[in-house]
Structure 1
Amino acid sequence: MEIIIESLDNIREAARKFVDQMDGRKVFAFYGKMGAGKTTFIKAICEVLGVEDVITSPTFSLVNDYTDGEGQSIYHFDFYRIKKLEEVYDMGYEDYFYSGNLCLMEWPELIEELLPDDAVRVTITQLADGSRRVEA
């Protein structure tokens, strides 16, 4: 899968394309440099899925739980501040990752060894013209 986000004006369209290609997969690990647009793209995905909650990066709480338009939980993780894997064990990561609910993760490289085998690795790259490339 490759999607180009030309600007913020078409991010919802790009998120719709992403959602259409999820194919029932539930765990998505988003890789990209600081400022690449991981949080912004995850927010757009959640909006496409009908989330009405305020969508923010869970930088300090590690995980935010949103409800989609069908009443299902979506878990949004941000592992940027993880210092030790024990923090992830203590939060009960398995309950989230293997819940059957959608899991969207930022900074998964910090917990790489805990990712489920079926996790979809998504890379967001900022291109020279300011657009973003989303690849999975």
Structure 2
Amino acid sequence: MGYNLKDIAIAAKSVLTEAGTRKVFLFHGEMGAGKTTLIKALCKQLGVDESITSPTFSIVNEYHIPKGKIYHFDFYRLKNQTEAMDMGCEEYFYSGDYCFIEWPEMIPDLLPINCVDISLSVLSNNRREIRIDKK
């Protein structure tokens, strides 16, 4: 599915519909592909009212929504999977709350089953492509 950045809210709504009841999302794409931008739109669709920022340095940000929480992870800076285990990532993944995970490639052995794989590609400055695969 291709989308223009100005239509990102529509794309986010479509992603959530496609995901059904699954709540763990793995975001793949090169630096600058729009992973964080799409996650911000997904958070807005789910009812986040607070400021949404990238957890590049904190590794995880927590947002509150009417029916629970959203955990937004950025594992780009991890040195190894042990760092993710030490922060208790598996407790988040199996909490029943939404988990949006950037750079899941950094923790391949820790990822739960029944995830939604989101692959983002840059088509042009203002256009992206999303591929969705449910495991």
Counterpart residue identity of residue 90, structure 1: D
The 8 Å contact of residues 25 and 118 in structure 2, kept in 1 or not, is answered as: yes
What's 1:87 paired with?
Answer: 83
DSSP-derived class of the 1:30 partner: strand
SS of alignment partner, residue 33 of structure 1: coil
Look up the SS of the partner of 1:58 in the other structure.
coil
**TM-score, normalization: structure 1?**
0.92
1:11-35 C-alpha deviation (Å, 9 max, x unpaired): 1111111112221001110000000
Matched, 1:30 2:32: no
Q: Which has the higher strand share?
A: 2
Note the residue ranges of structure 2 that are not aligned, 5 or more in a row: none
Is the partner of 1:55 in helix, strand or coil?
Answer: coil
**Does the alignment pair 1:103 with 2:102?**
no
Paired with 1:124 and 1:75, the residues of 2 have a C-alpha distance of: 20
Q: CA deviation at 1:129?
A: 6.5
The partner residue of 1:120 within 87, 107, 116 is 116
AA matched with 1:109? E
Identical-residue share of aligned pairs (%): 49
Structure 1: 5+ residue stretches without partners = none
Residue 49 of structure 1: which of 38, 46, 50 is its match?
46
How far residue 71 of structure 1 moved from its aligned partner, in angstroms, is 4.0
| One of 16, 20, 35 as aligned partner of 2:17 | 20
Structure-1 separation of matches of 2:41 and 2:112: 24
Q: 2:80·2:107 contact (CA, 8 Å) conserved in 1?
A: no
In the alignment, the residues of structure 2 paired with residue 60 and residue 133 of structure 1 have an alpha-carbon distance, to the nearest angstrom, of 27
Give RMSD over aligned pairs: 1.2
**Aligned-residue offset at 1:9:** 1.2
Paired with 2:80 and 2:18, the residues of 1 have a C-alpha distance of: 33
SS where residue 127 of structure 1 aligns? strand
Q: Distance in 1 between matches of 2:2 and 2:48?
A: 23
Aligned equivalents of 2:120 and 2:18: distance in 1? 16
Other structure's SS at 1:126 match: strand
